[in-house]
């Protein structure tokens, strides 16, 4: 029962570490001082939107990335309340991924602060810092209850992993560097 919350918490922590490190490397490649790098690399639970904004600040010639239109990731589609229990698949684009990652940050906050257990249907609080509520990405049950399931936790991992890859690859191209190899990074397949 603790696997789904663990997947979300470790995925968000790994993403946060990646964003800080990536921002520091980009700052170093731009010739910034250590003090300047510390300012841009220090983040607190960044979302995909935050990461993208950080890169937009650092890479002035990256103001309107065209790749966003063609980016997509396949995820599990949550069952409707009272309907079938089967999880189908859905493909989302960049704008939807930004919304979902904001909701995953809310899931992370509620789990970390002990506001929910995360593995049973329960009432989740509204957004702690404003924005998209955690329930946006959770499985809905009756009476306002939602749950974090293994399927939805995999969605979190996939969205963060593929979103980070897209931003990193396109930043590398903007810097005229060879993109990093992502083959060793888990892909969290939907067919497991």
Contact 47, 102 (CB under 8 A): yes
Distance CA 19, CA 48 (A): 9
Contact 12, 105 (CB under 8 A): yes
Handedness of CA 81, 85, 90, 92 (dihedral sign): positive
Structure-block tokens of residue 130:
């404003």
Q: Provide the residue-wise pLDDT of the chain in tens; the chain has 192 residues.
A: 789 999 999 999 999 999 999 989 888 888 888 888 888 877 788 899 999 888 888 776 665 667 888 999 999 998 887 777 788 899 999 999 999 999 999 999 999 999 998 888 999 998 866 789 999 999 998 889 999 999 999 999 999 999 999 999 988 888 888 888 898 888 888 885
Distance CA 78, CA 162 (A): 20
Instruction: Give pTM, 2 decimals.
Output: 0.91
Q: How many CB atoms lie within 10 A of CB 141?
A: 15
Beta carbons within 8 Å of 36's beta carbon, 6+ residues apart: 27
In the three-class reduction of DSSP (H, G, I as helix; E, B as strand; rest coil), residue 74 is classed as strand
121 secondary structure, DSSP code: -
What does the DSSP assignment read for 41-79? H--SS--HHHHHHHHHHH-TT-SS-GGGGT-EEEEEEPP
């Amino acid at each position: 029962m603790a696997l789904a919350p663990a997947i979300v918490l470790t995925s968000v922590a790994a993403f946060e570490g990646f964003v800080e490190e990536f921002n520091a490397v980009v700052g170093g490649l731009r010739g910034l001082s250590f003090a300047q790098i510390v300012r841009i690399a220090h983040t607190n639970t960044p979302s995909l939107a935050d990461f993208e904004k950080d890169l937009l600040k650092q890479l002035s010639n990256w103001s309107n990335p065209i790749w966003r239109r063609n980016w997509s990731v396949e995820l599990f589609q949550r069952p409707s309340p009272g309907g079938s229990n089967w999880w189908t698949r859905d493909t989302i684009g960049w704008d939807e991924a930004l919304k979902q990652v904001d909701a995953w940050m809310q899931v992370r906050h509620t789990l970390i602060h002990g506001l929910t257990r995360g593995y049973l249907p329960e009432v989740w609080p509204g957004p702690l810092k404003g924005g998209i509520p955690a329930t946006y990405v959770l499985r809905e049950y009756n009476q306002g209850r939602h749950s974090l399931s293994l399927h939805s936790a995999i969605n979190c991992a996939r969205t963060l992993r593929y979103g980070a890859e897209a931003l990193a690859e396109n930043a590398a191209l903007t810097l005229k560097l060879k993109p990093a190899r992502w083959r060793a990074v888990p892909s969290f397949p939907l067919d497991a």
